[in-house]
Amino acid sequence: MSSEISLTSPRRARVLIVGAGPVGLALAIELGHRGIPCLLVERNDRVGYAPRAKTTNVRTREHMRRWGIAGKLRAASPLGVDYPSNVLFVTRLAGAELARFDNAFYCAPGRNPLYSEHAQWIPQYRVEEVMREHAQSLPGVELRFNCEFKSLEQDGRGVRAVLFDRAGGASSEVAVDFLVGADGARSSVRAAIGGTMQGEYGLSRNYNIVFRAPGLAAAHRHGPAIMYWQINSDAPSLIGPMDRGDKWFFMPTKVPENMSRGELDAGALIRRATGIDLPYEVLSTDEWVASRLICDRYRERRVFLAGDACHLHPPFGGYGMNMGIADGVDLGWKLAAVLQGWGGAVLLDSYEAERRPVHLRVLDESVANHAVLGNQLVAEGLEAEGPEGDNVRRQVGARIAAAKLREFSTLGVVLGDSYVNSPVVAAEEGGAAAADFINYVPSAMPGRLAPHAWMHDGSSLYDHFGAGFTLLAMPDASCAELDLARRHAALRGVPLQVVQRAEPALPSLYGARYTLVRPDQHVAWRGAAWPAAGEALLDQVAGRAAPMCASSRSAVV
């Protein structure tokens, strides 16, 4: 696209979002908070049919804190927010323990200096309920169920899409500035723009089974956990509590390729896997295929893809829904900036430039986790009695502790996203630090997530950031330079909030007198002085100009 974007005259909806799952809802919320009218359409009569994702990670919860709904999600937790997020590896629920990971995914309540919100173990449909209620409360956000996307046409001024009302049987056309496909793995929007998924399909065939089993929690001796990995040769599987009313999930990890869905006797399989004979009421059986796929394009002019529509990976590690929500956040503030007139074409180009490297990293992590399931952990004699069996179980437990740590202690992945190579980041010389899946080391290097800190009044530093850009100034910042930054921002029309805090930990944490933080809380620039060419810097980070050379930016102290 050219450096200038032609926008249509104001209309009721400026962005059409296809798909009202967590990704589409995140995008609608981001736009709604920024006053951008949008239309969110969903082909079904509701969302949340398949209760797959259960981990809402710390970064997603930080976005929810920014949206003002983290507390509502906490209250919606069916097991209670204090329920221990332990992951246990056992031979069977009725068998021996092999290994455990306490506080998996960082769900334990309490303040951690590295993040503002703990993670939460909660079914995806509960997350969607909270997000949907919030989205519908925002002026300008319209949600239509039973509304199916059929086709699109676009030109230099906008997108025209044909929608079909599945309840009323009538078609209609809507004209918008941009269209986003958040319509999942079988994306119709992806097909409409000629996108092709590339990679490896069919890493494994799986079932997600939801069932009711009164008394199951008390029928084993392992204590509460969010997930029990059952390692045995009969039916290696995952099982765990999901909701009130004795509702559980069960996922076998070794399903015969030639077994049809109708041939699966889920109740008998659960009974064999657990070694516990109870009446198991199967509520739903959802078949899915694990793959490693990424789309060859995330965008065709005014049409974008987000979430599963452009990347698919195995669910191990809990990244899928969370990564899609992050897509919606990244694209949301950028579309809003363009529609509000202060963002340029390069800002839209940066969506794929920023998100694709993150997706590739997470795809690799998920595939690595998928490579070590219960199938691969079974060993001869694992369930034998006596010293011989004890020795085998110790050996397998040690292997689990080493091999599965990266699946449940993932803060380095969750908070370590780096946009250092983005065209709208004023990158520093030296490049990005080596990726670490476990350890997250905060850094204010441009492109990284702004380091978190708790303020002396009990608030989070993030609570003080503005909806646009934030200039975080240290106590020794110059009033004249802060005034200059404000003037530059006003001249360029870039929303800027200046935040100056006196907490003594901040200077060493940020390593610069001034740090420019983006609307998504990633660092855009930092320096010892606000540059005389501040207008040019703002043009770059707002996507209206090519990247500045390093010599034209102020050096970091």
Q: In the predicted model, is pLDDT for residue 28 greater than 80? A: yes
Q: Per residue in 72-116, pLDDT tens? A: 999 999 999 999 999 999 999 999 999 999 999 999 999 999 999
Residue 392: both structure tokens together: 């085998």
Asked if the structure places residue 395 within a domain, the reply is no
More confident residue, 405 or 49: 405
DSSP, collapsed to helix, strand or coil, labels residue 257 as coil
Mean pLDDT of 177-192: 97
Q: What 8-state DSSP symbol labels residue 549?
A: P
Residue 285 in contact with residue 266, Cβ under 8 Å?
Answer: yes
Asked if the structure places residue 89 within a domain, the reply is no
DSSP, collapsed to helix, strand or coil, labels residue 381 as coil
Say which CATH number the domain at 337 has.
3.50.50.60
Is 434 found in the same domain as 304?
A: no
Residue 338: the pLDDT is: 98
Among 347-351, 474-478, 549-553, the least confident range: 549-553
The pLDDT-based confidence of 3 (bands split at 50, 70, 90) is very low
Q: In the predicted model, is pLDDT for residue 552 greater than 50? A: no
Residue 2: the pLDDT is: 37
Is 437 found in the same domain as 353?
A: no
Is 168 found in the same domain as 23?
A: yes
Residue 557: the pLDDT is: 28
Is 456 found in the same domain as 542?
A: yes
Is 442 found in the same domain as 365?
A: no
**Residue numbers of the domain that contains 194:** 15-75+121-198+294-370
Asked if the structure places residue 365 within a domain, the reply is yes
pLDDT over 70 percentage in the chain? 93
Is 463 found in the same domain as 327?
A: no
Mean pLDDT of the residues in the chain: 92
DSSP, collapsed to helix, strand or coil, labels residue 348 as helix
* H helix intervals, 91-235: 124-137, 188-192
Is 529 found in the same domain as 461?
A: yes
CA gap 224, 104 in Å, rounded? 13
Q: Per residue in 221-233, pLDDT tens? A: 999 999 999 999 9
Among 40-54, 319-333, 488-502, the least confident range: 40-54
Asked if the structure places residue 189 within a domain, the reply is yes
Asked if the structure places residue 260 within a domain, the reply is no
Torsion (CA) 198, 202, 206, 208 in degrees, nearest 10: 10
Residue 503 in contact with residue 472, Cβ under 8 Å?
Answer: no
Q: Per residue in 281-327, pLDDT tens? A: 999 888 888 999 999 999 999 999 999 999 999 988 889 999 999 99
Please say which residue of 333, 352, 370 terminates a domain.
370
Residue 51: the pLDDT is: 58
Please say which residue of 311, 342, 370 terminates a domain.
370
Q: What's the structural domain count of the chain?
A: 2
Among 242-246, 366-370, 432-436, the least confident range: 432-436
Residue 514: the pLDDT is: 98
CA gap 372, 100 in Å, rounded? 16
pLDDT over 90 percentage in the chain? 85
Is 534 found in the same domain as 466?
A: yes
Is 507 found in the same domain as 431?
A: yes
Is 362 found in the same domain as 299?
A: yes
Residue 202: the pLDDT is: 87
CA gap 287, 402 in Å, rounded? 30
Mean pLDDT of 141-153: 97
Is 437 found in the same domain as 358?
A: no
Neighbour count for residue 550 (Cβ, 10 Å): 11
Q: In the predicted model, is pLDDT for residue 50 greater than 60? A: no
Asked if the structure places residue 127 within a domain, the reply is yes
Among candidate residues 208, 200, 197, 225, the one with its CA nearest the CA of residue 307:
197
Residue 11: the pLDDT is: 55
Residue 286: the pLDDT is: 85
Residue 551: the pLDDT is: 41
Residue 384: the pLDDT is: 96
Asked if the structure places residue 337 within a domain, the reply is yes
Q: Per residue in 510-525, pLDDT tens? A: 999 999 999 999 999 9
Residue 334: the pLDDT is: 98
Residue 433: the pLDDT is: 67
Is 331 found in the same domain as 189?
A: yes
Helix, strand, coil share (%) of the chain residues, nearest 5: 30, 25, 45
Find where tokens 């034998």 sit: 384
Say which CATH number the domain at 480 has.
3.40.30.120
